Amino acid sequence: MIFSGKVFKFGDNIDTDAIIPARYLNDSSDENLIKHCMEDADESFPSKVSKGDFIAAGNNFGCGSSREHAPRAIKVSGVPVVIAKSFARIFYRNAFNIGLFILEADTDGMDNGDMLEIDTDTGEIKNKTKNTSVKAKPIPKFMSELVNAGGLIAYAKKKIKEGRK
Amino acid sequence: MGRPLTITEKIIQNHAGNETIAPGDIVNARVDIALGNDITAPIAIKEFEAIGTSHVFDRKKIALVPDHFVPNKDILSAKQAKMLREFAKKFDIENYFECGEAGVEHALLPEKGIVLPGDLVVGADSHTCTYGALGAFATGVGSTDLAYAFAFGELWLKVPESIKVIFEGKPKKWVSGKDLVLYLIGQIGVEGANYMALEFAGSTFKHLGMSDRFTISNMAIEAGAKSGIFEPDEITEDYVKNRAKRDYTFYKSDEGAEYAKVLKFDAESINPQVAFPHLPENSIDINEASAKNIKIDQSVIGSCTNGRIEDLRIAAGVLRGKKIAKYSRLIVIPATPDIYRMAEKEGLIDIFMDAGAVVSTPTCGPCLGGYMGILADGERAISSTNRNFKGRMGDVTSEVYLANPAVCAASAILGKIAGPDEVS
């Protein structure tokens, strides 16, 4: 799939408390997650983000808690893809399970507000503002099957349909 | 005979039923225990309902522990806890713990013998890795994963590479599992073991108890690790033999098993550690930390990392007959009801209260900035918990310093970051 939009740039080790602080975890509704997404990293993010925008970050994005509220908050805020140099393991797993695209790529050349065009099939990330391009690491086969199936629950439903094996 | 395997590979292979496995393989592994709490299980329950199955895979192999915001801190958290209760009733979940029986999940499940050596455990909580201390493969997953495990009793897993971490020698007085793991994270960084299994070994662990192993495995995630495991031995056997209500298996790594890295540390040269804001990797020696003269407003002793009876005994040993500094707070949270009761019988609760502490019922509470000890703007806490991210315990301008319970107790007495030798 091809996505285009502007990028919000963050640094290294953006933890799940920054993505969605625990003080809001008494409510997992989309409205609540949208209202506080990325709040402790950038207070203005919830009011500035528009559907189709991207998040780019440095190393170890999503470290810390296993809260699935974190990738969900990003997804329901309208962000279809997160690009980072690396991701923490549970966040990475959660993102695929819920159908949020995750790309590992060099994000050094991306700045706040740059316009990107991303092809999630080829992993090509074009920076329209800077006229540069980087290639993301290929998504492992199983993971892309999972995303293409529509996430783990869609995969599970299919499994039920075929008879519990 | 296939190639020699690590303990982690053996447990996963056994649960996946594959004849051979290698790091990087994606397998479907059978799950012995699937765990959720009052924050993560509500989403799992919704996703479980979306799958459309009429039953859970095994009512005895699911654990639901409301611990983060329980006793309920507000209406919204009460609704979340209610979802767990109703799910537990509907499917007659054996290991559901109502407030009063419930404690911090990762202290509670080992204590009750629910997780055992050789198990494969998935939990929708990042500190599920705690059970590696028992010689189990245990890893944190998300709520959707948990829903899938509830339905099918299995889950996809990528076989991790392992890093072997060897500590040799007898640790100094006041040095605990917390200090060794903070030191390790300081050495390898918060991403140092991302996607990998940590495997702990060495003579040091013959000098320390199970509670130290739990603390070390618990914080494997703070180095990014998927799991943090110990080979079970006689110390493990002593801990589990009277708790287990089913069979368990001791796995060991084969001679010649392959490791991505082998790290060796001399435990005798390590002092108590303090991890400075805002990452657990910012750990420094207590002497250096104390010399910086950092005033603290609050000290917290508790959590899945350091809320066990051994931790409370150490803290009480430092606090006995002393008062905490004026205008500072000390919050002590026994991790489970049994620990609370033991602390009371041993006179520890009196020691804490005489010192000016508040003793809370078991909860994760302030560790994640939930409730029961939130920091105001600019305030500083020293805490026996596991994370010191920005805003973790309250306002984004507040600070958390991580340390062992003895250091947290000494710091409460002096109102500044200090080692236990400074108050004895």
Q: What is the DSSP letter of B172?
A: P
Task: Please name the residue that has the structure tokens 């993505």.
Answer: A19
Residue A36, chain B, CB below 8 Å: the answer is: no
The verdict on pTM exceeding 0.95 is yes
The pLDDT of residue B153 is: 98
How do the domains of chain B map onto residue ranges?
7-249+259-265, 276-422
Of the partner residues A23, A67, A156, the one whose CB lies closest to the CB of residue B369: A23
Domain residues for the domain of A22 are 2-161
Return the CATH number at A119: 3.20.19.10
Could you tell me the strand order of the sheet in which A2-9 lies? Answer: A101-104, A81-84, A54-57, A2-9, A115-119, A124-127, A132-135
Q: How far apart are CA A91 and CA B195, in angstroms?
A: 11
The pLDDT of residue B351 is: 98
Interface test with B, best of A15, A93, A165 (most B CBs within 10 A): A93
pLDDT tens-digit map of B217-273: 999 999 999 999 999 999 999 999 999 999 999 999 999 999 999 999 999 999 999
Cβ contacts below 8 Å, chain A against chain B, sum to: 136
Cβ neighbours of B398 in A, within 8 Å: none
Q: How far apart are CA B355 and CA B342, in angstroms?
A: 19
The pLDDT of residue B1 is: 59
pLDDT exceeding 70 applies to what percent of chain B? 100
Q: State whether B74 and A26 contact (CB < 8 Å).
A: yes
B276-422 CATH fold: Aconitase; domain 3 (3.30.499)
pLDDT tens-digit map of A110-148: 999 999 999 998 999 999 999 999 999 998 888 888 877
Of the partner residues B40, B51, B374, the one whose CB lies closest to the CB of residue A156: B51
Residues B28-56 have a mean pLDDT of 97
Instruction: Provide block-wise average pLDDT over 10 residues at a time, chain A (165 residues).
Output: 96 97 96 97 97 98 97 97 97 94 96 97 96 94 82 85 64
The pLDDT of residue A165 is: 46
Phi–psi pair at B11, nearest 5 degrees: -65, -45
Which CATH architecture best describes the domain B7-249+259-265? 2-Layer Sandwich (3.30)
| Matching fold, domains B7-249+259-265 and B276-422 | yes
Instruction: Indicate the average pLDDT of chain B.
Output: 97
Q: How far apart are CA B215 and CA B133, in angstroms?
A: 8
Kindly provide the ipTM of the predicted complex, given to two decimals. Answer: 0.95
Residue A154, chain B, CB below 8 Å: the answer is: no
Distance from CA of B240 to the nearest CA of A (A): 27
Please tell me whether residue B191 adopts helix, strand or coil conformation: coil
Question: Cβ atoms within 10 A of the Cβ of B358, count?
Answer: 13
Cβ neighbours of B123 in A, within 8 Å: 66
pLDDT tens-digit map of B105-145: 999 999 999 999 999 999 999 999 999 999 999 999 999 99
Packing angle, helices B143-152 and B41-51, rounded to 10: 50
pLDDT tens-digit map of B57-111: 999 999 999 999 999 999 999 999 999 999 999 999 999 999 999 999 999 999 9
User: How many separate domains does chain A show?
Assistant: 1
Query: H-type helices in chain A, by residue range?
Result: 16-19, 30-36, 45-48, 69-76, 89-98, 141-148, 152-161
E strand or H helix at B332, and its extent? strand B329-332
Q: How far apart are CA B66 and CA B43, in angstroms?
A: 14
Q: State whether B68 and A156 contact (CB < 8 Å).
A: no
The pLDDT of residue B34 is: 98
The pLDDT of residue B321 is: 98
